[in-house]
Structure 1
Amino acid sequence: MIIRIMGEGQYRAPDAIIEDLNAIDNRIVELVEKGDREGFRNELLRMVSLVRERCEPLEASEIVKSDLILPPSDLTFEEARGIFRGQGLIED
């Protein structure tokens, strides 16, 4: 799976990471619905960090279609309301 972090680049992700990302994604949806800005910020940073730490960055010259696009780590809470709703970024 190829994951893009907006404004940062693409990563080749092992299949095992998808379940972890989905769990974080679902928590972010709940936090946004509750209006928990601090919790949202912490989980978003956790999601982006997980990709940075456990996935292999692709070379900038390698252009591949992304299977999943994550928002940047500086996404505002207001922007998150339009993204993290329903099933979030990753559909179960």
Structure 2
Amino acid sequence: MIVRIMGEGQFEVPDSLVDRLNELDNAVLAALDTGDEADFRVSLAALLAAVRAGGTPVDHEVLLPSEATLPFDEATVDEVKALLREDGLIPG
């Protein structure tokens, strides 16, 4: 799966990491639902960290279609909500 972090670039994420990313995505969604800014920040940071740690950066010269687009670290709640799809930030 190709995941784009806005302002940073694309990462090729192995299929073995997708379930974990969906768990972290669900935590972001739960924080958004409750309006808990602190949980939102922690959950978003964990999701982005998992993509960076488990994914392989795609060369900036290569542009591939992204299956998921994640916000940058300091994104606001409203900016993240604008990126949400029916199944969250991560498909599946």
- Give TM-score scaled by structure 2 length: 0.88
Q: Alpha-carbon deviation of 1:65? A: 0.9
Q: CA RMSD in A?
A: 1.6
Report the equivalent of 1:76.
76
Q: Flag structure 1 segments of 5+ consecutive residues without an equivalent.
A: none
Q: What CA deviation, in whole Å up to 9, does each residue of 1:21-45 have, x standing for no partner?
A: 1111111111111110000000101
Give 5+ residue unaligned stretches, structure 2.
none
User: How far apart are the structure 1 equivalents of 2:66 and 2:85?
Assistant: 21
The percent identity for this pair of structures is 35
1:29-88, CA deviations, whole angstroms, 9 ceiling, x for partnerless residues? Answer: 111111100000001011111111111101111111111111111111232344457531
* TM-score after normalising by structure 1: 0.88
Q: Does 1:58 align with 2:30?
A: no
Q: Which moved more, 1:78-87 or 1:20-29?
A: 78-87
Aligned to 1:4, the other structure's residue is in SS state: strand
Partner AA of 2:29 in structure 1:
V
CA distance in 1, matches of 2:45, 2:82: 18
Kept in 2: contact 1:13–1:56 (CA 8 A) = yes
Q: Which has the higher contact order (CA 8 A, sep 6+)?
A: 1
Number of aligned positions between the proteins = 92
